Amino acid sequence: MLKHFILSAVSFMLAASVAVAQSFVMDIDLKKQGPAIQATQYGIFFEDINFAADGGLYAELVKNRSFEYPDDHLQGWKAFGKVTVKDDGPFERNPHYVRIADPGHPHKWSGLENEGYFGIGVREGEEYRFSVWARVPGGGSSELRAELVNTASITETQTLCQEKLAVSGDAWKQYEVILKPGSTFDKAALRIFLVGERVTVDLEHVSLFPVDTWKGHRNGLRKDLAQALYDLHPGVFRFPGGCIVEGTDLATRYNWKNTVGPVENRPLNENRWEYTFTHRFFPDYYQSCGLGFFEFFLLSEEIGSEPLPILSCGLACQFQNDDKNAHVPVDGLQPYIQDALDLIEFANGPVDSEWGRLRAEMGHPAPFNLKYIGIGNEQWGSLYTERLEPFVKAIRAAHPEIRIVGSSGPNSEGEQFDYLWPEMRRIGVDLVDEHFYRPYNWFLSQGARYDNYDRKGPKVFAGEYACHARGAKWNHAYASLLEAAFMTGIERNADVVHMATYAPLFAHVEGWQWRPDLIWFDNLRSFRTASWHVQELYGRFKGTNMLALKMSGANVTGAEGQGGLFASAVSDGNRIYVKVANTSEESRDISFNFTGLKKKDVVRAVEGVRLDCSDRLAENTLEDPFKVVPEGFRFDGEGRQIDASVPPLSFSVFVLTVQ
Ligand code: AHR
């Protein structure tokens, strides 16, 4: 009995010491630099969904500024006194405007009030540029008063600030005045009174912008939101979507030519997402196109990204159109193909070419240096391939330098995917766009997804992805951890996956229809989700070359026996960045074992950055924007082997240097 007890105790102690000592050894080969990491490796997907453009990134604060909302030309406005809508205005593609006349009684008023997008957010002491195209139809002069008001106020006055504006002559001219509110309010309204002698006046394209936009552009972007893009270190910027490229029908597809030139004359487009979700329905969701292709190219340049426009291939959204006749017939594609060729000219053409001239007139004579173009979004079947082919032929013939992105359909695998990949090879596109909005177990099982992809065929653009947990469909810490884990597989296969963009990008807290999303905002505030921080870490520690990292000769992909670990490594000069996602509930001891070092060289620990996801459902919010953020940690060591540990449910970036 005693012998048995002693034996058991010894074997227990042995087992315990083995468990304590168990270390996951990651061999990192420094002998030769692996293939280069593409500049485009991690980037941004922009789509006007969830009020991402008007009411979001695009800093215009007035809704329906051109009186073109088709169901009601005064949608978003309250008119009082004597106001009529007219349709022979100065901008042919936006012909409606309002006429404001004397109400006919000295104690009545005529004017308008705009509600903005979920209100108008204004800050105390900041400057807002109110501008309007106006004329006095009978000649002479007239006077307006523009105000920012708090209509919910119970104080003495609703007015936050006001300024007068004189209008003269019967020719249309643009007028402007600066409004400076005395207090901050996220749901102000813009009010315009006809004052003075109350001489009849016509108003068109009524606009209000913060003066302080991103880079100070007049037709500019909201600063905090653009900054959140810049801070991602994005290598590629995909625009304008998504399904929005296709439209609910062809009439509402994204037509880039309608989004360039003077903003006053860019026609309104019905947003593809206006009618899609009746459980979160926004019957006033339109695209002013004030944030159009010129602005997208400019933003790409200013955030250091390669622009990647995606164009309609002549198919209306296939989810929403079973009828073949909803699409452009193959023999009717020429105007669409011409749109693609003209876009390349708009971006890159000389200033004396038709479209290059427009770019120059808009303020950018230098080319935007476009290198990529996508044809079609989530398309599938032969409907797609028979349309894609003539595009590819025409673009190759005219612009062999442009790299073309095709689609693998809406699913990460399955019939459409299996049909399209060989077709993309046959047609000879350069990159294939893959989309996956998938649950936890999909992300946990896909660490090795790209390890055996064909190295000779087209490259991969992981163009839309996000972890969509059932029952936890928001940006919580655990979802971001699984995205980080999955991205080690992208990094390990950077020779075949040349681009990856999380989607969607933005959501207004009151206007969202799809989640999770990378960045959330209201009218004044915004926050960066845990997923944003994962993207930022990959962008910041992108490196320049791949490095082979193995555990017992195998890639670290969360496979059986790998302790829930996913890992990858890259070099950057004499720096090494190792990324480790620990998806298990246990802390893991790891050893980095460096091979292939020159005799005189050693590796030294520099610093670490870690996202703690152990509070699985924790999320950042407007009220608590920094709940899930990366934090620096110290780890030590010098030599050919460096030991560290990774806490349960965490994503760590280890920075080391070779000396
Ligand atoms: O990102 C939201 C939508 O998801 C995109 O518009 C579409 O491409 C995909 O179905």
**Crossing angle of helices 530-540 and 477-492, rounded to 10°:** 30
Task: From the CA of 243, give the closest atom in ligand 1.
Answer: 6
Is the beta carbon of 374 within 6 A of some atom in ligand 1?
no
Bond prior to 390 in cis (omega within 30° of 0): no
Is the beta carbon of 243 within 6 A of some atom in ligand 1?
yes
Is the beta carbon of 47 within 6 A of some atom in ligand 1?
yes
SS3 string, 451-505, reads CCCCCCCCEEEEEEEEECECCECCCEHHHHHHHHHHHHHHHHCCCCEEEEEECCC
Q: Measured in angstroms, how far is the CA atom of residue 242 from the centroid of ligand 1?
A: 5
DSSP H helical ranges for 505-607: 530-540
Q: What is the pLDDT of residues 285-344, one digit of tens each?
A: 999 999 999 999 999 999 999 999 999 999 999 999 999 999 999 999 999 999 999 999
- 630 Rama class: left (phi>0) / alpha (psi -120 to 50) / beta: beta
Which sequence positions are flagged as catalytic?
378
Q: Which of 244, 315, 320, 437 to mutate to test the pocket of ligand 1 (most atoms within 8 A of CB)?
A: 437
- Of 43, 57, 44, which is closest to residue 507 (Cα–Cα)? 57
Which residue CA neighbors atom 7 of ligand 1 most closely?
242
Q: Measured in angstroms, how far is the CA atom of residue 243 from the centroid of ligand 1?
A: 5
SS3 string, 32-66, reads CCCCECCCCCEEEECCCCCCCCECCCECCCCCCCC
Q: Which pLDDT value is given to residue 13?
A: 44
Q: Which of 51, 271, 377 to mutate to test the pocket of ligand 1 (most atoms within 8 A of CB)?
A: 377
Q: Are 642 and 525 in contact (CB under 8 A)?
A: no
Q: Which pLDDT value is given to residue 163?
A: 98
Q: What is the pLDDT of residues 40-92, one digit of tens each?
A: 999 999 999 999 999 999 999 999 999 999 999 999 999 999 999 999 999 99
Q: Which pLDDT value is given to residue 17?
A: 42
Q: Measured in angstroms, how far is the CA atom of residue 241 from the centroid of ligand 1?
A: 7
Place 1 in a pLDDT band, splitting at 50, 70 and 90. very low
Query: Measured between alpha carbons, how far is 578 from 539 in angstroms, rounded to an integer?
Result: 13
Q: What is the pLDDT of residues 486-507, one digit of tens each?
A: 999 999 999 999 999 999 999 9
The pTM (predicted TM-score) of the whole model is 0.96
Tokens representing residue 325 in the block? 């006749």
Q: What is the pLDDT of residues 222-255, one digit of tens each?
A: 999 999 999 999 999 999 999 999 999 999 999 9
Residue 590's DSSP bridge partners are 24, 644
Which residue CA neighbors atom 8 of ligand 1 most closely?
242
- In eight-state DSSP terms, residue 625 is T
Stretch 589-599: mean pLDDT: 96
Q: Measured in angstroms, how far is the CA atom of residue 234 from the centroid of ligand 1?
A: 20
Query: Measured between alpha carbons, how far is 392 from 500 in angstroms, rounded to an integer?
Result: 22
